[in-house]
Amino acid sequence: MLGLDLPTILREISIIAVPGILAITLHEVAHGWVARLFGDQTAAERGRLSLNPLRHVDPIGTVLVPTTLLLATGGQIGFGWAKPVPVDKNRLRRPRRDMVAVALAGPASNLLMASVWAALGALTVGTVGYEGAVGGWLAGVCIFGIWINALLAAFNLLPIPPLDGSRVVLAFLPRAIADRIERFEIFGLIIVVALLWYGWLGRLVEPIFLRINDFFSSFTGLA
């Protein structure tokens, strides 16, 4: 946004703020909601089943890492994460089976939100259009809402610990191997950052992201 005037900057922030915050917040809360459904009350007990985005801010993942990457790359790379909702798999009724549902709840919430933004986009086109100031702003919000949710869904489905896709894969591995991989989860995050830094992460995410984004965008009349 360098070189843009203040009204333009504020307009861009207003377009990405609501869908961006909802995409991240509901993704995390969905994990906790499904965990509670299967017997784990940990997230509820710690006050994390909240739509207040401040409850999901991680000082490192939400602030330090994305800020550092943006400054180090001149705004070319942005990456971060919210504070994970706590899930105690030992409190789940059937830990290995139920963890699959808990893990998939996050990406599923993003797909649901993408469908909602697609419906709102179609409604915008069919009523106020997207040429005027109001219509253009609403269209921008809907387009970004689809984009960010498609990106989060595709990214989190990668089978790299600690991403949601890895939880699904671990559920189908022998317990001894799964437990060993879980102990080295912190190195998975380092791998994700390294893949991002060298541009390989985008190549892994892009095929899934484009299919999701194009699918939902096609219903809006804005693509």
Identify the active-site residue in 12, 28, 45, 182: 28
Is 28 considered catalytic here? Answer: yes
Q: Looking at this protein, which amino acid is placed at residue 174?
A: P
d(CA 117, CA 144): 9
C-alpha to C-alpha distance for 49 and 136, rounded to whole angstroms: 34
CB-facing half-sphere around the CA of 21: CA atoms within 13 A: 12
- pLDDT in the model for residue 207: 94
Measure the CA–CA gap between 50 and 99, rounded to whole angstroms: 21
**Per-residue pLDDT at 2:** 47
Mean pLDDT by 10 residues, the chain (223 residues): 65 86 93 97 93 85 71 64 88 94 97 97 85 86 94 93 92 88 80 84 92 93 71
pTM of the model: 0.88
**Is the Cβ–Cβ distance between 149 and 117 less than 8 Å?**
yes
Rounded to an integer, what distance in angstroms lies between the CA atom of residue 41 and that of residue 88? 8
